């Protein structure tokens, strides 16, 4: 099988790679581009650890083919902080001690940021349903939800939708 | 004298005595004295059990101090989660 | 309730030292490491739950271009039987046979061979070329089948231990244990009310989000380096040395960041396989399980059956307690039946009790520890029946427990007398909590339960280095699963009188940190914390010596206050206080760098009690249970970083809720698990849950300088019965089998 040549943007940077047609974006990010901040918890779309954005839309990178990203823009955890400043979502999750082992955390940062960009003032139940695709086994979700509630209603921080 | 209590799983060693009094100032001395009384128990008490001395559990007892009014209980060593 | 100490930093909620790395994706977990020339290892797993392995031929797999190693059981050294220490810890021979089957496959998914190739895809292709002849045997899939007369045997060398005289026939019952005190018959004769019940719990998984992962490389001198996600890299080193017959000094283990463990990463699966294949190929080998393998081949917790009976006076005073309990061990002996048995009656004053426990092998993966191993299952049984007793006595369930709750000086059912414990305080806090008295609707119910875990001490080491500007480096050996670097830094900061922000914590590998037992047993903050405190005290005494030298006075004329050496009151000297920074800056002329050390085997771990209040709503149409409120109350001794203590309570609560309501391994009649993924093995998600309210009780543990008791495990114990009791109160029927899934509740309500 011949490999596919893909030119795409990852975290606002032009990126080129060769991949197999069936290769997932997750595998390419982790194994070819050395962006290991995106995690694999299941590879079947059930845990959200691999969350990234594709043209601003939240997707599971384990269910996204790498070849699909041609000409698009991928956002990963490595691109969330602005230079040496943490993104407000990152800052709040830390302040609320909303991570224990932290392996689910990159996925949450991406998912929460996507939520707030879409809906800057979500209710508790909107937050819980939006994040239902992100599994966390350590925290019982409580502090994650509280951290998001703490950010809700601060629309000025989340207006730039990619 | 310290009070020593045996659990069920040590009954076969200690002639089914549940409670004995022993004069000892360290765990090793206690074990040595028990060993003289109950042949074969010495190794078990050094290698296989945990001990609670006055309520403080020690996983791998050896040279812990024993007071004259101490209470000593043996228990299973536990795996941790 | 809380102690009177005036701490400056302990009890605050600073951001964890490793926080930024973890929130930006920089932190490296088990699967995040690579090396040049690295191969990918994958495992061939038994398609049968129970089979003799007649022949394995690796030839065709090895012949495939790009395959550099292939191994099966025959390539591993023979391992002598021998304990890993600890009841239920199992033995190294079993561990070795679990890592790679020898002549028998004992569960569906049991490793029978492995391949290392230049890519994962190629390695998987090579697995198809391995030829294995199996003689398929009847699988033994549950306690009833395993304990039945004439049951097929998993291992004809297993004779039930703990039976006198030694049985003449082998059996699937690996061990029998008995714990008793007093006169059980007299106790029941004395009772005015007797309740009995049978309770079952299913096989469940720890469900850590990060699958097992490791990277191994062995050089031509026989020295191996291993990166792996583990709760205890020193124990990994021991296990690798035993299973590969290597010298401990030839194995360096680097604990990567760990994506959850809950007990399931205290054991090893792939590590020796990766090292062996690296040795054979001369190249690094990386092995990462996929989620299906995690379910099929790594650490579930025991399914159990408990038959329990309680007798009490009309005023609620317990007169007798008995329990017959059987725990599935999986494919090899060593369930957590013993701790389960030791916990079950621990909360109560009991003169007469009898516990009979059985450790039973079945054709499922070898069980691994899961948070307070053994306790959730047994205490689910006891606390459910305590609830029934409360109904029968028409007593408030908290009052019933208060009537019998242990306190300082009472003899625990598992042996020793308790020192200070916080059970009564937890019960009173529960009773006074607004969540205990708020209105419920028709379909809602409330339940409470007590939880208990011993907590462990064990061995730890720590070093404290003072940098030239007075900032602090702590080196310790416990992988940080839940924020432990923050608690180590807080304890060092408090002890030294240095701001938290100036303390860094390194989790050293097996060559940089002193020997330290696992992050498990709720021991890290307690035992390793104690080592960090002692190493910090070592620094203080050295700093006082340096100040004495600087001031040309005697050491005993120097005191330590707020991070500064000061002359003792009354010492005739008007020296300016010397900060740690000032002392460190000039340490070259007072004797060299400041380096504090401590190593210990911590005794006096304080037992942890909890009380949980669950509030549920059961839909009478569908049988679906929604948890509408949950309150976790627990004695932490002293919460070093309260936010992470709350996190332990909340996370444990939710794991327990999953255990109670959804989670279970579902098998077909051939012994094949039907739900090996997060879609069908459903752990709770955010939208399933309410806020988890927490109350931290602080009854200090006198054996720890700051009063700490472990908090990591107790939280998972009480939720099972709390939820089950809430469901009982909502539907008016006791369903004695977990999970309380919609079909099961619907069936019960229809009856
Ligand atoms: S790894 Fe993609 S959803 Fe789990
Ligand atoms: S913090 Fe461990 S899985 Fe979420």
pLDDT digits (tens, 9 = 90+) for C533-562: 999 999 999 999 999 999 999 999 999 999
ω into C629 cis (within 30 of 0): no
**Measured between CA atoms, how close is B73 to chain C, in angstroms?**
5
Q: Domain check: are A17 and A63 in the same one?
A: yes
pLDDT digits (tens, 9 = 90+) for C665-677: 999 999 999 999 9
Point out the ligand nearest to the CA of residue A93. 2
The answer to whether C409 faces chain A, any CB pair under 8 Å, is: no
- Determine how many CB atoms are found less than 10 A away from the CB of residue C570: 6
Mean pLDDT, rounded, of chain B? 88
pLDDT digits (tens, 9 = 90+) for C349-383: 989 999 999 999 999 999 999 999 999 999 999 99
pLDDT over 70, % of chain C: 98
Question: Does the domain formed by C304-455+606-750 have CATH 3.10.20.740?
Answer: no
CATH number of C33-137+210-259+265-297: 3.90.1170.50
List the one residue out of A138, A105, B80 whose CA is nearest residue C653.
A138
Residues 6+ apart with CB under 8 A from C416: B52, B55, B57, B71, B73, B75
Q: Residue C39 has what pLDDT?
A: 98
Distance (Å, whole) CA B58 – CA B31: 15
pLDDT digits (tens, 9 = 90+) for C86-100: 433 568 999 999 999
Ligand 2 within 6 A of CB of A137: yes
pLDDT digits (tens, 9 = 90+) for B7-46: 877 888 888 888 899 999 999 999 999 999 999 999 999 9
Q: Domain check: are A8 and A67 in the same one?
A: yes
Asked whether residue C570 carries a pLDDT value surpassing 50, the answer given is yes
The domain containing residue A13 runs over which residues? 4-79
Q: What is the CA radius of gyration of chain A?
A: 16
C87, C337, C716, best to mutate vs chain B, most B CBs in 10 Å: C87
Chains in touch with B (3+ beta-carbon pairs under 8 Å) read C
Under 8 Å between Cβ of C413 and B5: no
Q: Domain check: are A17 and A65 in the same one?
A: yes
Give the DSSP H or E segment for C582. Answer: helix C580-585
- Among residues A79, A99, A118, the one where a domain terminates is A79
pLDDT digits (tens, 9 = 90+) for C402-435: 999 999 999 999 888 999 999 999 999 999 999 9
For domain C19-26+457-602, the CATH architecture is 2-Layer Sandwich (3.30)
Same fold, C33-137+210-259+265-297 and C304-455+606-750: no
Domain boundaries, chain C: 19-26+457-602, 33-137+210-259+265-297, 304-455+606-750
Asked whether residue C635 carries a pLDDT value surpassing 70, the answer given is yes
Q: Residue B12 has what pLDDT?
A: 82
pLDDT digits (tens, 9 = 90+) for C200-213: 999 999 999 999 99
> Beta strand B2-5 with A13-19: parallel, antiparallel or unpaired?
unpaired
Q: Domain check: are A8 and A70 in the same one?
A: yes
Ligand 2 within 6 A of CB of A103: yes
Mean pLDDT, rounded, of chain C? 96
Whether A161 maps to a domain, the answer reads no
Q: Write out residues in chain A with pLDDT < 70, as ranges.
A: 1, 155, 157-162
Asked whether residue C1 carries a pLDDT value surpassing 50, the answer given is no
Residues 6+ apart with CB under 8 A from A4: A18, A19, A20, A21, A66, A67
Partners of B43 on chain C (C-beta within 8 Å) are none
Q: Domain check: are A48 and A9 in the same one?
A: yes
Q: Residue B25 has what pLDDT?
A: 95
Q: What is the ipTM of this complex?
A: 0.96
ω into C152 cis (within 30 of 0): no
Does the pTM surpass 0.90? The reply is yes
pLDDT digits (tens, 9 = 90+) for C262-300: 999 999 999 999 999 999 999 999 999 999 999 999 999
- The count of domains in chain A is 2
Probe target for ligand 2 pocket from A48, A102, A145, with the most ligand atoms within 8 Å of CB = A102
Please give the sequence-ordered ranges of beta strands (E in DSSP) within C258-352, or none if there are none. 285-288, 300-301, 304-312, 318-330
Ligand 1 within 6 A of CB of A40: yes
Q: Label residue B80 by pLDDT band (50, 70, 90).
A: low
Whether A137 sits inside 8 A of C258 (CB atoms) is: no
Partners of B77 on chain C (C-beta within 8 Å) are 85-87, 89
Determine the Cα angle at C87 with ends C457 and B5, to 5°: 75
Whether A159 maps to a domain, the answer reads no
Whether A162 maps to a domain, the answer reads no
Q: Which of residues 638-677 of C touch A (CB under 8 A)?
A: 641, 643-644, 646-647, 650-655, 677
- CA C559 vs. chain centroid, Å, equals 41
Return the CATH number at A133.
1.10.150.120
Distance (Å, whole) CA A24 – CA A43: 9
- Among residues A44, A79, A114, the one where a domain terminates is A79
pLDDT digits (tens, 9 = 90+) for C483-504: 999 999 999 999 999 999 999 9
Mean pLDDT in residue range C702-724: 97
Q: Residue C2 has what pLDDT?
A: 43
The answer to whether C319 faces chain A, any CB pair under 8 Å, is: no
- Determine how many CB atoms are found less than 10 A away from the CB of residue C183: 14
pLDDT digits (tens, 9 = 90+) for A92-113: 999 999 999 999 999 999 999 9
Distance (Å, whole) CA C518 – CA C265: 9
Q: What is the 3-state secondary structure (H, E, C) of C652-694?
A: HHHHHHHHHHCCCCCECCCCCECCCCCCCCCCCCHHHCCCEEE
Count Cβ–Cβ pairs < 8 Å, chain A vs chain C: 176
Ligand 2 within 6 A of CB of A134: no
The answer to whether C28 faces chain A, any CB pair under 8 Å, is: yes
Whether A160 maps to a domain, the answer reads no
Q: Domain check: are A141 and A111 in the same one?
A: yes
Q: Domain check: are A8 and A73 in the same one?
A: yes
Q: Residue C80 has what pLDDT?
A: 86
Residue A138 has its nearest CB partner, among C15, C20, C482, at C482
Asked whether residue C137 carries a pLDDT value surpassing 90, the answer given is yes
- Sketch out chain B's domains with CATH numbers: 2-76 (3.10.20.30)
Q: Residue C707 has what pLDDT?
A: 97
Q: Domain check: are A24 and A61 in the same one?
A: yes
Per-residue exposure over C185-211, b if at least 16 CB sit within 10 Å of its own CB, e if not: eebbebbeeebebebbbbbbbbbbbbb
């Amino acid at each position: 099988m011949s490999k596919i040549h893909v030119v795409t943007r990852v975290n606002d940077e032009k990126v080129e790679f060769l991949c197999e047609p069936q290769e997932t974006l997750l595998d390419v990010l982790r194994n070819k581009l050395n962006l290991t901040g995106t995690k694999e918890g299941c590879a079947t779309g059930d845990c959200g650890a691999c969350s990234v954005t594709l043209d601003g839309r939240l997707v599971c990178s384990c269910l996204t083919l790498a070849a699909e990203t041609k000409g698009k823009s991928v956002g990963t955890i490595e691109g969330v902080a602005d230079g040496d400043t943490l993104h407000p979502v990152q800052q709040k999750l830390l302040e609320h001690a909303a991570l224990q082992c932290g392996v689910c955390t990159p996925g949450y940062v991406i998912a929460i940021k996507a939520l707030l960009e879409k809906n800057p003032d979500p209710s508790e139940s909107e937050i819980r349903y939006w994040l239902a695709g992100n599994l966390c086994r350590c925290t019982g979700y409580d502090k994650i939800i509280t951290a998001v509630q703490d950010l809700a209603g601060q629309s000025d921080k989340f207006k730039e939708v990619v | 004298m310290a009070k020593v209590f045996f659990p069920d799983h040590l009954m076969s060693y200690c002639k089914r005595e549940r409670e004995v009094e022993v004069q000892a100032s360290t765990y090793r001395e206690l074990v040595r004295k028990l060993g003289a009384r109950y042949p074969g128990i010495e190794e078990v008490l050094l290698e296989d059990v945990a001990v609670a001395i006055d309520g403080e559990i020690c996983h791998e007892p050896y040279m812990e101090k024993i007071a004259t009014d101490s209470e000593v209980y043996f228990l299973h060593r536990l795996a941790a989660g | 309730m809380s102690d009177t100490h005036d701490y400056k930093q302990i009890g605050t909620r600073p951001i964890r030292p490793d926080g930024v790395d973890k929130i930006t994706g920089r932190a490296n977990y088990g699967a995040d490491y690579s090396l040049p020339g690295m191969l990918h290892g994958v495992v061939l797993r038994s398609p049968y739950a129970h089979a003799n392995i007649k022949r394995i031929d690796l030839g065709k797999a090895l012949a495939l271009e790009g395959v550099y190693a292939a191994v099966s059981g025959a390539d591993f050294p023979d391992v002598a039987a021998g304990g890993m220490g600890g009841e239920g810890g199992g033995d190294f021979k079993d561990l070795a046979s679990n890592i790679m089957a020898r002549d028998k496959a004992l569960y569906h998914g049991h490793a029978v061979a492995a391949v290392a190739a230049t890519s994962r895809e190629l390695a998987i292709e090579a697995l198809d070329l391995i030829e294995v002849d199996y003689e398929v045997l009847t699988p033994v899939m549950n306690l009833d089948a395993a304990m039945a007369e004439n049951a097929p045997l998993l291992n004809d060398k297993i004779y039930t231990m703990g039976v006198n005289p030694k049985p003449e026939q082998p059996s699937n019952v690996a061990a029998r244990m008995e714990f008793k005190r007093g006169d059980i018959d007299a106790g029941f004769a004395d009772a005015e009310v007797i309740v009995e019940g049978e309770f079952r719990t299913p096989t469940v998984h720890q469900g850590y989000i990060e699958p097992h992962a490791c990277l191994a490389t062995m050089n031509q001198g026989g020295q191996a380096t291993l990166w792996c996600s583990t709760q205890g890299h020193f124990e990994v080193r021991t296990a690798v040395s035993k299973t590969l017959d290597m010298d401990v000094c030839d194995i360096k283990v680097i604990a990567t960041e760990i994506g959850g463990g809950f007990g399931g990463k205290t054991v090893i699966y792939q590590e020796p396989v990766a090292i062996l294949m690296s040795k054979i190929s001369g190249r690094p080998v990386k092995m990462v399980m996929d989620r299906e393998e995690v379910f099929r081949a790594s650490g579930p917790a025991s399914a159990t059956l408990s038959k329990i009976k309680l007798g009490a006076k009309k005023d609620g005073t317990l007169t007798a307690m008995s329990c017959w309990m059987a725990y599935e061990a999986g494919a090899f002996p060593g369930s957590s039946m013993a701790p389960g048995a030791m916990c079950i009656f621990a909360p109560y004053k009991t003169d007469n009790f009898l516990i009979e426990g059985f450790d039973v092998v079945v054709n499922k993966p070898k069980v691994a520890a899961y948070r307070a191993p053994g306790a959730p299952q047994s205490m689910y049984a006891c606390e459910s029946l305590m609830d029934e007793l409360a109904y029968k006595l028409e007593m408030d369930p908290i009052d019933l427990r208060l009537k019998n709750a242990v306190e300082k000086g009472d003899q625990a059912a598992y042996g020793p007398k308790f020192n200070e414990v916080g059970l009564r305080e937890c019960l009173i806090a529960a009773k006074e909590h607004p969540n205990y008295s708020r209105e419920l609707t028709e379909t809602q119910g409330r339940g409470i339960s007590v939880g208990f875990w011993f907590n462990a001490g064990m061995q730890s080491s720590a070093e404290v280095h003072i940098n030239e500007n007075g900032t602090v480096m702590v080196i310790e050996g416990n992988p940080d699963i839940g924020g432990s670097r923050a608690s180590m830094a807080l304890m060092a900061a408090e002890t030294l009188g240095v701001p938290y922000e100036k303390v860094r914590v390194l989790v050293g590998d097996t060559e940089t940190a002193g020997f330290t037992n696992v992050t498990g047993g709720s021991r890290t903050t307690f035992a390793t914390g104690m080592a960090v405190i002692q190493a910090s005290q070592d620094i203080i005494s050295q700093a006082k010596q340096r100040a004495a030298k600087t001031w040309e006075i005697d050491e005993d004329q120097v005191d330590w206050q707020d991070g500064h050496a000061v002359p003792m009151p009354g010492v005739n000297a008007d020296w300016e206080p010397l900060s740690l920074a000032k002392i460190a800056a000039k340490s070259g002329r007072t004797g060299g760098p400041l380096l504090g050390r401590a190593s210990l085997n911590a005794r006096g771990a304080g037992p942890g009690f909890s009380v949980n209040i669950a509030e549920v709503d059961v839909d009478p149409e569908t049988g679906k249970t929604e948890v509408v409120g949950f309150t976790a109350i627990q004695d932490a001794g002293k919460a070093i970083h309260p936010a992470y203590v709350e996190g332990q309570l909340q996370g444990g609560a939710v794991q327990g809720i999953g255990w109670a309501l959804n989670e279970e391994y579902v098998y077909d009649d051939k012994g094949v698990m039907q739900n090996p993924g997060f879609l069908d093995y459903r752990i709770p998600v955010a939208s399933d849950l309410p806020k988890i309210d927490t109350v931290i009780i602080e009854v200090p543990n006198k054996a720890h300088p700051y009063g700490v008791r472990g908090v990591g495990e107790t939280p998972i114990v009480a939720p099972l019965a709390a939820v089950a009791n809430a469901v009982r109160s909502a539907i008016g029927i006791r369903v004695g089998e977990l999970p309380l899934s919609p079909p099961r509740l619907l069936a019960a309500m229809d009856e």
